[in-house]
Amino acid sequence: MKKWVYSFGDGITEGNAGMRDLLGGKGANLAEMSSIGLPVPPGFTISTEVCTYYYDNERKYPSSLEDDVRLAISRIEKETGLSFADPENPLLLSVRSGARASMPGMMDTVLNLGLNPDVVAGLARSTGDKRFAWDSYRRFIQMFGDVVLEVDHGLFEDALENMKDARGFIDDVDLSGDDLEELVGEYLAIVEQETGAAFPTDPMDQLWGAISAVFGSWMNSRAITYRRLNNIPAEWGTAVNVQSMVFGNMGDDCATGVAFTRNPSTGENVFYGEFLVNAQGEDVVAGIRTPRNLTKAERLESGNDQLSMEEQMPEVYTHLAEVRSLLETHYKDMQDLEFTIQKGKLYMLQTRSGKRTAQAALRMAVEMAEEGLISREEAIMRIDANSLDQLLHPTLDQEAEKTLLTRGLPASPGASSGEVVLTADRAEELAAAGRNVILVRLETSPEDIHGMHAATGILTARGGMTSHAAVVARGMGRSCVCGASEVRIDSNEGTVYIGPAELKEGDLITLDGGTGEVFQGEVPTIMPELSGAFGTLITWADEVRRLGIRANAETPMDARTAREFGAEGIGLSRTEHMFFDADRIVAMREMIMATDTEGRKIALAKLLPMQRDDFAELFRIMAGLPVTIRLLDPPLHEFLPHSNDELEEVAKAAGVSIRMARERAIKLNETNPMLGHRGCRLAITYPEICAMQARAIFEAANLVQKEGGQPVMAEIMVPLAATAREVELCRQIIDRTAQSVEKETGVSVEYMVGTMIELPRSCLVADEIASEAAFFSFGTNDLTQTALGISRDDAGQFLREYAEADIYPTDPFISIDKEGVGALVRIGVEKGKATRPDIKLGICGEHGGDPASIDFCEEVGLDYVSCSPYRVPVARLAAAQAAIRIKSGA
Ligand code: PEP
Ligand code: MG
């Protein structure tokens, strides 16, 4: 018989942390905690295989499941000495979902299950605490009503608020047992009115209702959206955890809380968390009451005037602090814990690897390696290379003038500016139109996930550092300020009041998620430096990586940034990009529009000194590091004059009539410019262009070497070649020019001629091309475009649907299509090496900065990747991770 149910607790524990796929993260870790002797209330996990069975069999359960559940309950009864559905000595249960990966959007929790009119009376008798018993019951009805029976939870909240108003109370805890009994009456009436049926009284019915609600929620639209955004397959399924209740709401020696073994925002090695006295589970995350700090240090720092747990409950605190270090040593990672204190005794309800900011992840990984808890390689592997991007995101320019509107909690770092929007849908809509938005909400919930994803920043009025907004924003790398109590939202009017300011949707604000400040308008930002843990980890990465890292850069600013971020050369300098400036584009247009060689030579003579200066500056900045300069590759449509003014300007510069200029422009117009007269085709048909560029390169190299700079390492690259002959013809021009310049100046310059490999044909004939090219640089932008037959410029219009339909699960222009484009690259590498074993191999398409593609580059044995300057640190780390992965044979 298949095993569907796994018990945990003091008596018998059948799972462990390695069984995450079967038991879900929560279930596996509850089992693990109980097997290492931590105080875990006994319970059981219904496995993810039941979820799969349920969906494969028209939402029916395996036939033996009911008996298995009964048996597991009887084990809990034996261990706790309580009995389910027995008014005299009642066992109450919690029911929670638990997928392999943490999954907001699913049914989360039902507490106090097993209560009915008889049991609540028995509970009041056996505990001698009527208030507690009826408080538990009303919470149960509310949670069960909301998540299982799908009654609008606002109705329960309104009833509770009305009762408090009527009694003149502010806090829930002021309500007496009699008040709560009356409230339960109202809650039961709400349920009956909304669902047309009485609230279930049989505890077994309640249990199966809750279990089915968990499995049912696996396929609700929020969970589906979350899975899509996070690439979680639907086949994984969720587990259900059923556990005996412990109570944090039995009086002032009871509490409930959440904690992180290190600070999840900064990574600092301090115990960090929040708790509420006399409260139950969800009160902390829901942000209903303001939680207190765990430690005294944290309280003093945050200015909270309520005593910390360390001060108020020193003994339990000491126990919790022991659990903290035990769990960190055991899991070798920062843990996110949930606990409850019942009558002064600590119980652990959950542990999992805690979500953290990119900054915290770095600091923790480096410090844990320095503490000897993990190895340096483990530290390197722990960081999501893409997340480093967040650290390279701007912080506010301290010098800039700014108007502070209010402050909240610094929930997720990074500065962001954008237009205020009040709903998730609106955020998504505006972001899709390319606008930056800040999502402003009272608090967020899983329904807002798509809007949070679309926003650059999130601001909430309610909730603490562990609220939904804070946790999700940190995970997504959005800047977030939460719990800003001076934010008031009037959704009817579309108005938001932030401190003294009255703002409308569309008004600009700026968040500093690192300080919790909210400013009016758009505040200028500055880029961070690589220091501290970042610097250390990157140095470790450099020690293990094999791939070289270069940058795509053509402006002096880009080249400097690239070097600051550790680039080891320039892998692509797009010379056509050097002519976008207003004062240069005319000369460039004049050259393109020239009708004969003479006219072109006149224009080229104007371009030569500009190019020479550009190249000299790049050579100076790169100080002897290799610089790959690509010959002109202008998709003509980007350069042709369009407006009358532009035409007039070119005509004047070239000394021709506007009519002639217009006729020439019409003649040059192409139907498919991306497949037209671009790349080396230009150099082949107009060799004087290639000669001018080669001359500019050699003269610039001479200049810099004469200034006493490092010898220049020039790599001249032919774009878009499909044949060896094209490379040969370009190389001949370059070689001839090198000889002339050497003769004129008496100085020789070291250079190589190589080619981009960016067409399927060039991969297939790479052996021939290699006889003419000393290096290959895979241009995977054009290679993807031409291999897939998808225009780079138009792909955005349908690729999202392609991703959803699982055709290209990730955008092939971002992450290399390994099966198709990757196969072409492999052929190119093999054939290139066959002809020229020492051929230098690199990549300079956008994929050069994408970790998954970098992993592929390591696998096929390229020598370097080249990416945009800000991706250089990401690439350094990703290259190290790829080297470690391949070495370990994973
Ligand atoms: C490429 O095609 O991958 C490449 C780097 O060239 P460009 O993007 O300039 O066409
Ligand atoms: Mg290209």
**Distance (Å, rounded) from C-alpha 833 to C-alpha 839?**
6
Q: Is the Cβ–Cβ distance between 366 and 379 less than 8 Å? A: yes
Three-state SS for 782-800 is: HHHHHHHCCCCCCHHHCHH
- Establish whether 254 is a catalytic residue: no
Give the residue, out of 574, 580, 759, with the most ligand 1 atoms within 8 A of its beta carbon, to mutate for a pocket test.
Answer: 574
- Beta-carbon count within 10 A of 594 CB: 20
Of ligand 1's listed atoms, the one at least distance from the Cα of 635 is 10
Residue 847 pLDDT: 94
Q: Name the residue with the closest Cα to ligand 1, atom 4.
A: 779
Residue 124 pLDDT: 95
| Residues shown for the chain | 890
**Distance (Å, rounded) from C-alpha 151 to C-alpha 146?**
5
Strand partners, 626: 713
Report the b/e string of 413-433 with b at 16+ CB within 10 A. bbbbbbbbbbbbebbbebbee
Residue 287 Cβ inside 6 Å of ligand 1? The answer reads: no
Residue 782 Cβ inside 6 Å of ligand 1? The answer reads: yes
Residue 834 pLDDT: 98
Residue 590 Cβ inside 6 Å of ligand 1? The answer reads: no
Of ligand 1's listed atoms, the one at least distance from the Cα of 633 is 9
Residue 867 Cβ inside 6 Å of ligand 1? The answer reads: no
Rg of the chain in Å (alpha carbons): 33
Give the residue, out of 576, 756, 788, with the most ligand 1 atoms within 8 A of its beta carbon, to mutate for a pocket test.
Answer: 756
Q: Is the Cβ–Cβ distance between 766 and 827 less than 8 Å? A: yes
**Distance (Å, rounded) from C-alpha 446 to C-alpha 435?**
23
**Distance (Å, rounded) from C-alpha 810 to C-alpha 330?**
36
- Establish whether 450 is a catalytic residue: no
Q: Three-state SS for 59?
A: coil
Q: What are the residues whose beta carbons fall under 8 Å from the beta carbon of 598, sequence distance 6 or more?
A: none
**Distance (Å, rounded) from C-alpha 689 to C-alpha 597?**
10
CA 612 vs CA 9, 696, 700, 828, 829: distances in Å: 75, 4, 5, 33, 33
Closest ligand to residue 777's CA: 1
Q: Three-state SS for 94?
A: strand
Residue 554 Cβ inside 6 Å of ligand 1? The answer reads: no
Q: Three-state SS for 882?
A: helix
Residue 284 pLDDT: 66
Report the b/e string of 823-843 with b at 16+ CB within 10 A. ebbbbbbebbbebbeebbbbb
Q: Is the Cβ–Cβ distance between 762 and 725 less than 8 Å? A: no
Q: Name the residue with the closest Cα to ligand 1, atom 9.
A: 574
**Distance (Å, rounded) from C-alpha 719 to C-alpha 763?**
14
Q: What are the residues whose beta carbons fall under 8 Å from the beta carbon of 549, sequence distance 6 or more?
A: 566, 567, 568, 864, 865, 866, 867, 872, 875, 876, 879
Residue type, 479: S
Helix (H) or strand (E) holding 161: helix 153-167
Q: Name the residue with the closest Cα to ligand 1, atom 8.
A: 781
Residue 576 Cβ inside 6 Å of ligand 1? The answer reads: no
Q: What are the residues whose beta carbons fall under 8 Å from the beta carbon of 875, sequence distance 6 or more?
A: 385, 549, 848, 849, 854, 865, 867
Q: Tens digits of per-residue pLDDT, 497-506?
A: 999 999 999 9
Give the residue, out of 639, 758, 792, 862, with the most ligand 1 atoms within 8 A of its beta carbon, to mutate for a pocket test.
Answer: 758
Residue 660 pLDDT: 87
Task: Give, to the nearest 10 degrees, the angle between helix 872-887 and helix 532-544.
Answer: 50
Helix (H) or strand (E) holding 619: helix 597-622
Indicate the pairing of strand 255-260 with strand 508-512: unpaired
The beta strand positions in 476-609, using DSSP E, are 479-482, 487-490, 495-498, 501-504, 508-512, 517-520, 525-526, 548-552, 570-574
Residue 241 pLDDT: 97
Q: Tens digits of per-residue pLDDT, 31-78?
A: 999 999 999 999 999 999 999 999 999 999 999 999 999 999 999 999
CA of 446 to the centre of ligand 2 (A): 42
List 680, 844, 857, 867, catalytic entry: 844
Q: What is the DSSP string of 511-547?
A: EETTTTEEEESPPPEE-----HHHHHHHHHHHHH--S
**Distance (Å, rounded) from C-alpha 781 to C-alpha 787?**
10
Residue 357 pLDDT: 83
Residue 469 pLDDT: 84
Q: Three-state SS for 184?
A: helix
Tokens of 138: 């009303």
CA 872 vs CA 21, 485, 533, 865, 885: distances in Å: 35, 40, 17, 9, 20
Would you give the end-to-end CA distance of the chain in angstroms? 34
**Mean pLDDT by groups of 10 residues along the chain of 890 residues:** 93 92 96 96 97 95 97 96 94 95 81 96 93 94 94 91 90 89 97 96 97 93 84 90 94 93 92 91 68 92 90 96 96 96 96 89 96 97 86 78 90 89 93 90 83 93 77 77 90 90 95 91 79 91 98 89 93 87 79 87 92 96 97 82 86 88 88 89 93 97 91 97 98 98 92 98 98 98 95 76 84 92 98 98 94 98 93 95 94
Tokens of 830: 């093999």
Q: Which of 201, 208, 202, 199 is nearest to 70 (CA)?
A: 208
Sign (positive/negative) of CA torsion 294, 299, 300, 301? positive
Residue 386 Cβ inside 6 Å of ligand 1? The answer reads: no
Q: Is the Cβ–Cβ distance between 118 and 83 less than 8 Å? A: no
Residue 572 Cβ inside 6 Å of ligand 1? The answer reads: yes
Residue type, 578: M
Report the b/e string of 763-780 with b at 16+ CB within 10 A. bebbbbbbebbbbbbbbb
CA of 780 to the centre of ligand 1 (A): 7
**Any idea what DSSP says for residue 434?**
T
Residue 844 Cβ inside 6 Å of ligand 1? The answer reads: yes
Closest ligand to residue 574's CA: 1
